[in-house]
């Protein structure tokens, strides 16, 4: 069986520096993309938090509306909540 490492030639000096520059460029791109991902995750977390707050507020309003004895008031308040939710999206 032949030695596979013998078939791989060591890169010449020019090729070595090209490989090092390519690795450096790739490392920079990886860091840039990682930073973008971190920012995106933070924005997504903030949006999820706001959505949770809106949903919780809507739920409280819906529960309060359900206790109002005025006929038709519940439908009106539900319509207002849906309108508010659409405007926030």
Give me the number of domains the chain comprises. 1
Q: Residue 89: what pLDDT?
A: 65
> What is the pTM for the complete model shown?
0.51
Which residues form the domain of 18? 12-88
CA distances from 67 to 12, 14, 61, 78 (A): 82, 80, 10, 13
Matching residue, tokens 């990886």: 30
Residue 47, in any domain of the structure: yes
86 or 53, which is more confident: 53
pLDDT of 3 higher than 70: no
Question: Each residue of 4-46: pLDDT tens digit?
Answer: 554 456 567 778 889 999 999 999 999 999 999 999 999 999 9
* 51 falls within a domain: yes
In a domain, 29, yes or no: yes
| 82 occurs within a structural domain | yes
20 within a domain of the structure (yes/no): yes
Tell me whether residue 3 is in a domain: no
41-85: per-residue pLDDT in tens?
999 999 999 989 988 888 888 787 777 777 777 777 778 888 877
């Amino acid at each position: 069986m032949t030695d596979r490492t013998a078939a791989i030639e060591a890169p010449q000096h020019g090729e070595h520096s090209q490989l090092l520059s390519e690795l450096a460029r790739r490392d920079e791109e990886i860091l840039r993309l990682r930073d973008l991902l971190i920012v995106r995750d933070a924005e997504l977390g903030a949006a999820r938090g706001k959505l949770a707050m809106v949903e919780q507020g809507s739920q409280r309003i819906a529960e309060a509306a359900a206790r109002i004895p005025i006929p038709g008031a519940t439908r009106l308040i539900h319509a207002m909540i849906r309108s508010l939710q659409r405007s926030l999206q």
